[in-house]
C-alpha cells in the first residue's frame, strides 16, 4: 500500500505549530488549511498532463494542462471540513461529495449519518479529507461507501495518521493511497493518537470544553 509521510520542511514546521495545546481556534484552523494545501500538492503529483497551446504575448506557446482528471473531494464530517478550503485553494473546480461519520466514544466504531456523493464516481479520483486517521474505522467505512458508488481511484489526506489506522486500511483496502504530514507513535487507551493533535474536530470548530 502506498503511504506517503510528507517530509517537506513547511509541512513539518506547520504540523509542529499545530501540536501546541494553547493554539486559538483561528490559528489551528489556518494551519489545518495550509497543511491540507501542501498535502494536496503531494497527492496530485501523479496527475496526467497533455500538450496544449495558448496564444502568448509573443505568439503561440506550447503548454501542458491536466488531462481529463475528474477529481472529487470527500471531506468526512465534521473535522474534514477544516481541510476543505486548503484543498480547494489548489483544485478550485473540484466537485465535493460529503460523508458524515462519527466515532462512538465507547466502542470507537464509526456511526454513519450522512452521504451525498457526486455523480459518475466510476470516472473520478476521490480525495478523502480527514485530519485524523486513528483506528481506521472511519476511513474503511468511507472507502466502502465510495467503492459501493463505483469509485476505483481513492486517496486519503490526513494531518496525522496512527500505525493502527494504516494497518486497518491495508487489511481492507490496500489499493487506497495515504498522504499524511505525520505517522505518529500509537493510539492511547481511548483511541486518541499520541502525540497527535487531540480532538481535531473540536479544535477546528472551537467546541472544546
Ligand X SMILES: O=c1cc[nH]c(=O)[nH]1
Q: Which residues are catalytic?
A: 103, 107, 199, 202
Extract the C-alpha cell encoding 183: 505517522
Smallest gap from Cβ 13 to ligand PRP, in A, equals 23
Q: Which of 201, 205, 206, 209 binds Mg ion (CB under 5 A)?
A: 201
Q: Is 136 annotated as a binding residue?
A: yes
Q: Among 182, 189, 125, which Cα is nearest to 153's?
A: 125
Stretch that binds ligand X, among 10-18, 141-149, 174-182, 198-206 (CB under 6 A): 198-206
Category of 118 on φ-ψ map: left (φ > 0), alpha (ψ -120 to 50) or beta: beta
Smallest gap from Cβ 126 to ligand PRP, in A, equals 16
x/- track of binding to ligand X for residues 125-144 (CB under 6 A): -------x-x----------
- Residues 154 to 193 in contact with ligand X, rule: CB under 6 A: 191-193
Q: Is 76 in the site for ligand PRP (CB under 6 A)?
A: yes
Terminal-residue alpha carbon distance, the chain? 38
Smaller CB separation from Mg ion, 134 or 176: 134
Q: Is 135 in the site for ligand PRP (CB under 6 A)?
A: yes
Smallest gap from Cβ 194 to ligand X, in A, equals 8
Smaller CB separation from ligand X, 86 or 110: 110
Annotated binding site: 78, 103, 130-138, 193, 198-200
Residues that bind ligand PRP (CB under 6 A): 76-79, 102-103, 108, 110, 130-139, 165, 191, 200-201
Amino acid at each position: 500500500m502506498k503511504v506517503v509521510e510528507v517530509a517537506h520542511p513547511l509541512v513539518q514546521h506547520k504540523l509542529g505549530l499545530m501540536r501546541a495545546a494553547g493554539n486559538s481556534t483561528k490559528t489551528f484552523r489556518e494551519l489545518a488549511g495550509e497543511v491540507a494545501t501542501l498535502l494536496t500538492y503531494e497527492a496530485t503529483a501523479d496527475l496526467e498532463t497533455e500538450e496544449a497551446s495558448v496564444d502568448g504575448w509573443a505568439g503561440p506557446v506550447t503548454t501542458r494542462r491536466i488531462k481529463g482528471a475528474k477529481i472529487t473531494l470527500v471531506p468526512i464530517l465534521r473535522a474534514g471540513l477544516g481541510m476543505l478550503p486548503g484543498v480547494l485553494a489548489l483544485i478550485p473546480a473540484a466537485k465535493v461529495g460529503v460523508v458524515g461519520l462519527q466515532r462512538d466514544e465507547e466502542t470507537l466504531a464509526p456511526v454513519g449519518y450522512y452521504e451525498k456523493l457526486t455523480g459518475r464516481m466510476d470516472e473520478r479520483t476521490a480525495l478523502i479529507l480527514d485530519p485524523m486517521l486513528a483506528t481506521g474505522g472511519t476511513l474503511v467505512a468511507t472507502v466502502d461507501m465510495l467503492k459501493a458508488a463505483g469509485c476505483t481511484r481513492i486517496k486519503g489526506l490526513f494531518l496525522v495518521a496512527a500505525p493502527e489506522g494504516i494497518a486497518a486500511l491495508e487489511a481492507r483496502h490496500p489499493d487506497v493511497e495515504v498522504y499524511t504530514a505525520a505517522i505518529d507513535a500509537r493510539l492511547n487507551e481511548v483511541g486518541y493518537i499520541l502525540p497527535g493533535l487531540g480532538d481535531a474536530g473540536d479544535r477546528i470548530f472551537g467546541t472544546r470544553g
